[in-house]
Amino acid sequence: MEILAFGVQADERPLVEQAFEKSHHAAHAVGVFLNTDTAPIAAGHEIISTSVNCDLGADVLSDLAAGGTRMVAQRSTGFNNIDLEVAERLGLTIARVSSYSPYSVAEFAWTLAMAVNRRVVRASIRTRDFDFRLDGLMGRDMHGRTAGILGTGKIGEAFARIAHGFGMRLLGWDVSENPACRDLGMTYVPKDQLLAESDLVSLHVPLLPTTQRLIDAAALKTMRDDAILVNSSRGGLVDTAALVAELREGRFTGVGLDVYEAEAGLFFLDKSLEAVDDDTLARLVTFPNVLVTSHQAYYTEDAVRQIIETTVNNVLDYTAGRRSENVLVPRS
C-alpha cells in the first residue's frame, strides 16, 4: 500500500520514505500542503499523512472521503486544523503523534528567549558589516529572575528544568499541577499573577477553544514593560494585533515567536519573491526587539525521527485494526 504524505520538508523526505519502506509500505512524499486545491492528489490513497499546516476542514475531508481516503495520520501533536466531527461523520480514522522529544521545543524556546535578551540577531548583522560596537546590545542575567510558564506538561517541564538550571524563580499556570515542576520549586499561581511577576513568559499550552488568544490585549497589559514573551506552541494563543499595539508603545524587552496565528499559507513556504499581504506580520517583523522564526522548534533530527516512527506505527495499527492513545477518531 502506498501512503501519500503531504507537507514533507526536504530534510524530512528521506526519513519518511525510509521509515515506511521498513514497515513494508511505500510512502510518496510531496512538499505541497493539503488544501481544497491539492486534495484531488489524494484520490486513490486509502491512507494519507499530513502536517499541522495542512487544511483538514469539512470541504477537504469530504473530498478525501470521496476519493477513497479512509485514514489520516497527522505528523504533529496539535490537531486544531482537523474538523474531527466531520471526520467521524465521514468514517475517516484520524491519528496524531501524541508526544515526541519535549527537549526540541523547550530548547528552542530558550534559544528564542536568549537571542532576544542578548540581541544576538542584531549583533550578528552588525559584525557582518564589521561594526563591532556594543551600543544597544546590553542584555540581562536570567539568574535570579522569574520565569512564568503557561502550560507545564512535558515541554513546559523541560523548559522549567532549563530555567531552574539558570537559577530562576519558577511560576506555573495549568489546569493541573505537575509534581516534577513542584519538585523544582515551581509555585502555581493564577494567570494574571504569573504575567505580572514574570521577567520571562513562555507558552506551552495546546490551542483549544479555551486557550484561543490566551494572551490577549488585557493579558499583555498585565505583563511587565520589560518582560520577554516567547511562544513556541501555537500561534493562536497570542492576539498578534494586540501584541503589535503594545510593541508600538515601546513595551517588552523582547518577543520570540516561532508560531503565528495566521501562519497557514506562509510558514514552510518560500515567499521571498512575493508581496506578503499580511500587514500584521509585516509590521511585527520590523520591531528590533522581535524575532520570528518559521515553526521550527520541533525540527531536530531526534524529534522528527520520533514523529515519523509514531506515524508509521499509527498506520500499522490502522491496518491491523488496533487502537492506541494516538487515535482521535477511531476506525468505524
Q: Kindly give, in sequence order, each residue whose CB lies less than 8 Å from that of residue 66, ignoring residues fewer than 6 positions away.
A: none
Question: 224, 221, 177, 161: which is closest to 197 by C-alpha?
Answer: 224
Active-site residue flag, 140: no
Cα separations in angstroms, 310 against 19, 74, 95, 256, 304: 10, 10, 10, 29, 10
Ordered alpha helix ranges (H), the chain: 13-22, 58-66, 84-90, 102-117, 120-128, 154-166, 179-183, 191-197, 217-222, 240-248, 279-284, 301-320
The answer to whether 260 and 287 are in contact (CB under 8 A) is: no
The answer to whether 70 and 119 are in contact (CB under 8 A) is: no
Residue 299 φ/ψ, nearest 5 degrees: -85, 70
Q: Tell me the β-bridge partners of 29.
A: 5
Cell 500561534 found at: 235
Cell 548583522 found at: 125
- Extract the C-alpha cell encoding 182: 513542584
- Looking at 96, 119, 251, 295, which residue is catalytic? 295
Query: What whole-number distance in Å separates Cα of residue 4 and Cα of residue 315?
Result: 12
- Looking at 45, 234, 251, 261, which residue is catalytic? 234
Exposure b/e, 5-28, CB count within 10 A at least 16 = b: bbbbeeebeebbbebbeebebebb
- Extract the C-alpha cell encoding 16: 519518511
Active-site residue flag, 234: yes
The SS3 of residue 50 is strand
Cite the active site residues: 234, 263, 295
